[in-house]
Amino acid sequence: MQRLRKSRGLTLKQVEAQAKVSNAYISQIERGLRKPPHPDILKRLAKTYDVPHRELLVVAGYLEEDSETIATRRKIEEAFEHVKTDPKFKQGTRLKGTHVSLETKRFIVEMYEKLTQRNLLKEGA
């Protein structure tokens, strides 16, 4: 949670103002001193951090990712690692913040596939 907040360039006070959740409480959640917050609070935090509500529910343990989602995530992560280490493929981005979402990784892998005529996501890296 802390990494997510910092990647958005937000301070605890800013999150408090936007999500209407006390900054002391957020700090305690980030340090693992509190149980996962109520799904309603997670919904407000998801809007503030601009991530899908479902993603935070999974992290908090309210929902379980199905095996297909886990497999897709792993496939994209592996393919992205392959793309980053291919010396023939040069790439760069202009990002808002420092967080690289799974969606962005998928986009980069798809661009790699387009240029190299390979199909990493189907055939595996």
Partner 1 sequence: MELPNGEIDTSPIVDFCRAVVSRHAESWPPKEETLAEEFVQWLGLKPFSTRDQLIGLCLTKKVTVSFVELPLELRGFNCSFENRTEIVIAQRETVPGADLHTLLHEFRELLENAFVELGYTTLGADDFLEVQAEHFAMSARMAIITTEIPAFARFVQNAEARWARYLGYGVLGFLGIMYLLSCVFMPQLEEIESEVKRQRYIRT
**Binding marks (x or -) toward partner 1, 28..47, rule CB under 8 A?**
----------------x--x
The residue from 21, 26, 108, 109 that contacts partner 1 (CB under 8 A) is: 108
Q: Which of 40, 61, 68, 92 binds partner 1 (CB under 8 A)?
A: 92
Residues 33 and 1 sit within 8 Å (Cβ to Cβ): no
Does position 95 bind partner 1 by CB under 8 A?
yes
Q: How far is Cα 74 from Cα 107, in angstroms, rounded to an integer?
A: 15
87 is a site residue for partner 1 (CB under 8 A):
no
What is the four-CA torsion angle of 42, 97, 69, 113, rounded to 10 degrees?
Answer: 160
Applying CB under 8 A, among 3, 100, 119, 124 the residue interacting with partner 1 is 100
Residues in CB range of 34: below 8 A, 6 or more apart: 25, 28
Q: Rounded distance, CA 85 to CA 89, Å?
A: 8
Using the contact rule CB under 8 A, the part of the chain among 22-30, 34-42, 61-69, 82-90 near partner 1 is 82-90
Based on the shown chain and the rule CB under 8 A, indicate whether residue 27 belongs to the binding site for partner 1. no
